[in-house]
Structure 1
């Protein structure tokens, strides 16, 4: 019987448009022989209506409307043809784009038990990690990096900072870098640093990360992260010898690239403004074929203006690249920045076209200069290499044959198929899967029975801290939280604390059972007052010098209160403090692993030694656990009840705390486990409805500052208008 795998991707694989999608399609075709594969296409990026044209939007670039038109039946039928079942249909009309929109994957995760969940791209995994871990705790979670984004962004920042001499507009006019460009470079450098932290944190929460190059694998190994090496897979037999044109009759150079990928735009402009003038100075009038999806205006006009414009031919997307590869004598790949492998190089080699590339391009494919390719750096070096391959037939033939043999031995489908199967088998823990799947309805890693029933000491008259737990139904979840609180209090009896449960109009047994717990103060409401209203009632009732607002779907460990109180004494101007946790990327610790309550407690004890007294400034502290000194409450006030049932009250409060001149921090020696969104899911409350309403109020209240905060604290994909074609730095 085949094992089951869920693959989550941005869109269905557009395998004839982008080398990364072609690689994913090959991986699916291989794994479908061993797994029953369900494919969930998120349409992530979503489509937005602009005044001029339709654009896909994601964190890397804008996608043209034709990409949307083509993600319909043909690509889904291709998935079915290789034995992969698409789970959702792509809508035929544009979708309304909002910063909070995303696909609700909970129904898909709840419908079946999977042995492996494979997610394409770290930023997709970032959105759905918590849901996957909670609803499929037995599954091995594999994230396909495609390339290490932070390495590509860092190299781009270095290139923009040190190498750029000119900016080019859509009319192929050159002008020196402006102050606006320099500011963009500084912001891009900060963004690259931010992505590095975010990307590594996501990978630390996965079981394995798929990488495409040796360099990427070494980087992850240096961070102690497990990796699975699956490079671009090339089907060399796709281009048979009879289909490949002979050397005679070929002329010019070809560049193939998907222009949704920003480095390809820079490469095309480098060919236009560095290589073409050098060739013109050498008296060479050879054609340049620029082939690939969605060329922007600044690439399209290379054939209309500027040096040697009559030699440039820009085709856009073509159904088959081989006829164009057969025209060219040389494939040029000026990879100026980036990471991973470049499919354009492997495709050219498979088609029998010698390659001229940079060290980055050669290293990604393990190519050696003068043996498999020619390596160049400047425009003049590229021009001379192109000239050599036009004049030296023996060199042309030697490089072609050596590179083709190298591709067959190193990156052909057969050896990669074996390596993929063996690597995935090593990553999957069969016994763990069998053990957990015996009870597929299990909702998390912890069982209440492993902790004694909750019993709290009599509340002190002037407690050091009041812990307020807000609940709405879901007694089993709330009970586990209360048991962990009582156990932690028993292990730290010196902490003077009071514990308050605020029941927000539960209609299950929550109130009745909570009132039977000794030492627990219970506040009940006949109406659900929402997150802010319920917590405000707890704050008003609290007698402690400090107040902690704690979600009911959390688990704490012994020592959590003493450590938080110790931080509160030491940190000057403390406004709000939170713990490290498993569901907030801004409060995550790399490399955290635990499978049960004992391991969680052991982790927390270890953090008390390894991270003793450590804390960091936070952009935002999540409302799952908010430590509020009484001085903060006195200066800032209560939570804003205008947000209704929930979402963005914590963001709002954090901005108010910052305006009061106080600090937002998270403690690195305190860890709170969070199941996440239990009140919304199990009470049939539309999470996305209230998320969007909260976003609307937050942006209305805070304006541009609110949008900037969301982009930093939540790393959401905000809509950026297309406006005019951008200038390109080269």
Structure 2
């Protein structure tokens, strides 16, 4: 019998999913679809407000919840879910202790999205010129959250290894589940039918914002000088005024804002450029580029944890001069372009196939439910952290709750 059949699953979302705005939104919709397909009864709850771009959640109960409010205790006590999925560690900090107190036998699962402390350490190094420090305050919060949960879903193999070697997180608390892709045949434009360079990304995400500014100010002048016919198109949700101000038609640099369809804009471009200087996880834009047959030039952090031992679907370089040269080479050489596209298809088939990960995730959950008490007792550090978390966070939340009544 399927381990999820008729299981009550509560997902506490950091935001309401926007799959057309970010890879995080696509990831959440994949998890919801998986739970539904395997017989789970899903409730999605969030403190955030819905936007006009929020996905309509079909056959999913929806609940607006509030921070520091006893109404959540009543809600979760009545629901008594078999599994609670926290969307990023911040939601676990806010609601984990309430779930543990009112539903002690519920499995608590964290979806990390990416390792926030790694992204922050890299950001401070790049933008603030600070020494790389992985043991930052964000790490203490994030790793503690992982211990308090029964399992954390990771999308990056690199981060899986980092957690086990640097932070000594036990392997049984982690499960590798990347964003996966469907094995579907798309009608993709040819080399001759494509033109121009492009970038796409949610600009609320700091690495995307930085990448486009760096692209415009450092890389594009080098590329445009050598290849004045080149055109660069920037797409993405929630562009800031800084991003909008980068629009300069005289330099063939165009900022378009939100794209209605990522397939439309990526598949029409000949090359995707993603000079990502800091970040973590795997990059949805690069995964989609592979799906849509669009080679890319990116940084070592951009390609991190994606291609394994396989050849990249284009070039990986951290030198601005080399980045510009490689982008021009890939754009102009049809043979190099075609080989790069095939490399992308191989990466998808061997490393991101939905069929492989669906089966392994289903088996993993079956084992977790079957041996739930054993796994939880083996995680003594998690039990210890939850005990103290309950004592401190609970009473702080209660104090805020009483203060809000005044």
Instruction: Give the superposition deviation at 1:343.
Output: 0.4
2:309 and 2:270 mapped to 1: Cα distance?
20
1:115 and 1:675 mapped to 2: Cα distance?
26
Contact 1:140 1:429 in 2 (8 A): no
Instruction: Give the superposition deviation at 1:367.
Output: 5.2
Instruction: Give the superposition deviation at 1:369.
Output: 7.9
The reply to whether residue 263 of structure 1 matches residue 201 of structure 2 is: no
Q: Which residue of 2 aligns with 1:319?
A: 260
Deviations 1:385-427 (A, max 9, x none): 1111122111111110121122022102221211221222233
1:349 and 1:672 mapped to 2: Cα distance?
43
**1:320–1:405 CA distance, 2 compared to 1 (3 A):** same
The reply to whether residue 209 of structure 1 matches residue 176 of structure 2 is: no
Q: Which residue of 1 aligns with 2:98?
A: 131
The partner residue of 1:424 within 362, 365, 371 is 365
Partner SS state of residue 8, structure 2: strand
2:254 and 2:70 mapped to 1: Cα distance?
40
1:196 and 1:431 mapped to 2: Cα distance?
27
Deviations 1:266-294 (A, max 9, x none): 00011101111111331433111111101
1:126 and 1:419 mapped to 2: Cα distance?
28
**1:118–1:207 CA distance, 2 compared to 1 (3 A):** same
Bigger shift: 26-35 or 251-260?
26-35
Q: Which residue of 2 aligns with 1:692?
A: 404
Contact 1:4 1:114 in 2 (8 A): yes
Root-mean-square deviation (CA), in Å?
3.1
Q: Where do residues 710-729 of structure 1 align in structure 2 (5 Å cutoff)?
A: none
Larger RCO, structures 1/2 (Cα 8 Å, 6+ apart) = 2
Q: Which residue of 2 aligns with 1:69?
A: 52
Deviations 1:273-325 (A, max 9, x none): 11111113314331111111011111111113xxx754122221122122212
Instruction: Give the superposition deviation at 1:241.
Output: 3.4
Partner SS state of residue 43, structure 2: strand
Partner SS state of residue 428, structure 1: helix
Contact 1:4 1:35 in 2 (8 A): no
Partner SS state of residue 84, structure 2: strand
The partner residue of 2:317 within 364, 376, 398 is 376
Partner SS state of residue 203, structure 2: coil
The reply to whether residue 291 of structure 1 matches residue 235 of structure 2 is: yes
Count of aligned pairs between the two proteins: 393
Deviations 1:229-257 (A, max 9, x none): 111122352xx432x11110322211110
2:306 and 2:235 mapped to 1: Cα distance?
21
Q: Which residue of 1 aligns with 2:280?
A: 339
Instruction: Give the superposition deviation at 1:192.
Output: 7.6
Structure 2 gaps, min length 5: none
1:260 and 1:236 mapped to 2: Cα distance?
30
TM-score w.r.t. the length of structure 2 is: 0.87
TM-score w.r.t. the length of structure 1 is: 0.50
1:295 and 1:84 mapped to 2: Cα distance?
30
Instruction: Give the superposition deviation at 1:70.
Output: 3.2
The reply to whether residue 18 of structure 1 matches residue 1 of structure 2 is: no
Partner SS state of residue 591, structure 1: helix
Instruction: Give the superposition deviation at 1:261.
Output: 0.4
Partner SS state of residue 106, structure 1: helix
**1:672–1:366 CA distance, 2 compared to 1 (3 A):** closer
The reply to whether residue 118 of structure 1 matches residue 118 of structure 2 is: no
The reply to whether residue 4 of structure 1 matches residue 21 of structure 2 is: no
Partner SS state of residue 260, structure 2: coil
2:139 and 2:247 mapped to 1: Cα distance?
37
Instruction: Give the superposition deviation at 1:220.
Output: 2.2
2:91 and 2:253 mapped to 1: Cα distance?
37
Q: If you compute each CA radius of gyration, which structure gives the higher value, 1 or 2? A: 1
